[in-house]
């Protein structure tokens, strides 16, 4: 139970960080001077990165994070762990691809990825068996 609550807290924190306007960095060429670049920052939920720069990774990460949070909330009675693990790995992979291909690294994005990694680690940790605890 503590593992699921910790996972939910990490996912809520990552979604809050994604909503801030400092999650995705995009570099634009300044029209006045062709040798000068300007970096602007956008939210993961903004349409500028995927509309203006063809970077679909941030919005995909945001949507998959919302699905993971929904699965964690609704999955208390069923085993949703395989789906959560796959989605979290896709989120981490999409973040890394976005950093490498589109040069969109920010420390907010790093924090989001670390929170996804913590949630993934919490999901792969074996469950403690209550009956084994009672036998000791």
What digits encode the pLDDT tens for the residues 88-136? 999 999 999 999 998 889 999 999 999 999 999 999 988 765 545 555 5
Q: Where are the beta strands (DSSP E) in 7-123?
A: 24-29, 37-42
Q: Would you say 40 and 102 are in contact if contact means Cβ atoms under 8 Å apart?
A: no
SS3 state of residue 74: helix
> In terms of Cα–Cα distance, which of 107, 27, 110, 28 is closest to 61?
110
Give the confidence band of 28 by pLDDT, cuts at 50, 70, 90. confident
Distance between CA atoms of 78 and 58, rounded to whole angstroms? Answer: 29
Q: Would you say 104 and 50 are in contact if contact means Cβ atoms under 8 Å apart?
A: no
Q: Would you say 45 and 63 are in contact if contact means Cβ atoms under 8 Å apart?
A: no
Whether residue 17 has pLDDT greater than 90: yes
> In terms of Cα–Cα distance, which of 122, 120, 96 is closest to 4?
122
What digits encode the pLDDT tens for the residues 42-100? 999 998 888 777 889 999 999 999 999 999 988 766 778 899 999 999 999 999 999 99
Give the model's pLDDT for residue 136. 54
> In terms of Cα–Cα distance, which of 41, 25, 29 is closest to 98?
25
């Amino acid at each position: 139970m503590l593992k699921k609550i910790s996972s939910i807290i990490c996912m809520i924190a990552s979604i809050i960080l994604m909503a801030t306007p400092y999650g995705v960095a995009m570099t634009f060429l300044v029209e006045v001077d062709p040798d000068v670049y300007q970096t602007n920052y956008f939210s993961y939920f903004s349409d500028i990165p995927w509309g203006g720069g063809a970077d679909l990774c941030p919005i995909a990460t945001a949507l998959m994070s919302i699905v993971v949070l929904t699965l964690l909330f609704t999955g208390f009675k069923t085993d949703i762990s395989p789906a959560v693990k796959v989605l979290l790995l896709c989120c981490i992979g999409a973040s890394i691809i976005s950093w490498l291909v589109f040069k969109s690294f920010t420390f907010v994005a790093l924090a989001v990825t670390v929170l996804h990694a913590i949630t993934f680690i919490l999901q792969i940790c074996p469950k403690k068996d209550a009956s084994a605890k009672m036998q000791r």
